[in-house]
Amino acid sequence: MTPQTSESTGAAGVWTFGWQGLTVQAPESWDLSAYDGARASGSLSLADGLRVRLRMRWSAAGKSDDPAEDAYRLYERRLQKSAGAGIAPVRSDAVRAGVSAQGRNQVIPFEWAVGQGVVYGAVVYDPDAARLVVAEVCGPREMGRRGARRVLSSIAFSADDADTLWSVYGFAFRSPPLYNLESARLESGRLRFLFVRDASSWLRIERWSLAAHLLRRVPLDQWPAEYLKLTKLGCRELDTGEPTTWGIHPSRRFTAELTPSGLRRRTRAIRGRVWHDDAADRITVVAALGMDPEALDAVAATVEHRATP
């Protein structure tokens, strides 16, 4: 198993943002500014450092005969309630609006303006995933429709039985099916993701910036022990094996025994891999409980780093 080629970098100036099974092609200056909820329903915003540029709210489609139409009507009512009766979205057909759909998706484009701002939006319904998203591209009135159309046309959902792309702050990877995001801590210099499948299976993926500085304090061969200390997982045995490589990057595999707990006092083993990407100046750790080494390496192979503006 070797690292895969990049999939989060699109056309020049564009990258693929991914979160909770939702992906969109966004300008490279946009990145996550807020998020809430889970795969079934939630919301997020992307900002360009000055203002929010994209808002998305998603949910399950429910049992409606026309989920996209019902979602649009609900959006219209909520907008008029929050912004006032004088604000109403202008609806047009997808062809005339220049918004295309991924796969079998149904799209209802709309736009509205208030003050010096304008919103180009769309309700997107994926009948295969049975999911809906309401997306709004926001900006000043001089913002052109073309860029907004490209963003709205790129919205797509991943199936529940497919790997899920997570791509944020120059870091991207795929989580396996049935592993649900339990927590994400997105701090300056350190990104941490915890996915849980069941009581005996979890997956942790972490990335540290400023690797050269960190490795002066803790060499790579000591990073498994450092990682387990930082995560406070309560391990009693650690085996790091021999130095190896991951692609072209220096790497270490490790196995650690969790301190037995519960009435049965069963011994459980954590498996992991840590590697240093010198070009990106990043350290990455992929660790799991209840996952075999081949599956762990399959996750690690999806990790990639991209330069951010």
What is the pLDDT, as a whole number, of residue 27? Answer: 94
pLDDT tens digits along 253-309: 999 988 776 555 566 889 999 999 999 999 999 999 999 999 999 999 999 998 776
For the domain 178-305, what is the CATH superfamily, name and number? Mog1/PsbP, alpha/beta/alpha sandwich (3.40.1000.10)
What is the pLDDT, as a whole number, of residue 101? Answer: 72
Domain boundaries, the chain: 22-157, 178-305
Instruction: Read off the amino acid at residue 86.
Output: G
pLDDT exceeds cutoff 70 at 60: yes
Distance (Å) of CA 172 to CA 20, 51, 88, 305? 13, 24, 38, 6
What is the pLDDT, as a whole number, of residue 95? Answer: 52
pLDDT tens digits along 208-251: 999 999 999 999 999 999 999 888 887 878 898 888 999 999 99
- Using CA atoms, how far apart are residues 39 and 58, in angstroms rounded to an integer? 9
pLDDT tens digits along 88-102: 788 876 655 567 777
Extended strands (E) in 169-246 = 171-175, 180-187, 190-198, 201-208, 235-239, 244-246
- What is the distance, to the nearest Å, from the Cα of residue 150 to the centroid of all Cα atoms in its chain? 20
More confident residue, 198 or 261: 198
- What is the distance, to the nearest Å, from the Cα of residue 191 to the centroid of all Cα atoms in its chain? 12
The CATH number given to 22-157 is 3.40.1000
What is the pLDDT, as a whole number, of residue 96? Answer: 57
What is the pLDDT, as a whole number, of residue 5? Answer: 43
What is the pLDDT, as a whole number, of residue 181? Answer: 97
pLDDT tens digits along 1-58: 555 544 555 556 899 999 999 999 999 999 999 999 999 999 999 999 899 999 999 9
**Any long-range contacts for 145-148 (C-beta under 8 Å, 24+ apart)?**
145/97, 145/98, 145/111, 145/120, 146/98, 147/27, 148/120
CB 246 within 8 A of CB 3: yes
Domains 22-157 and 178-305 in one fold: yes
What is the pLDDT, as a whole number, of residue 259? Answer: 73
pLDDT exceeds cutoff 50 at 142: yes
| Report field, pTM of the whole predicted structure over 0.75 | yes
What is the pLDDT, as a whole number, of residue 104? Answer: 82
What is the pLDDT, as a whole number, of residue 164? Answer: 97
Average pLDDT over residues 144-167: 92
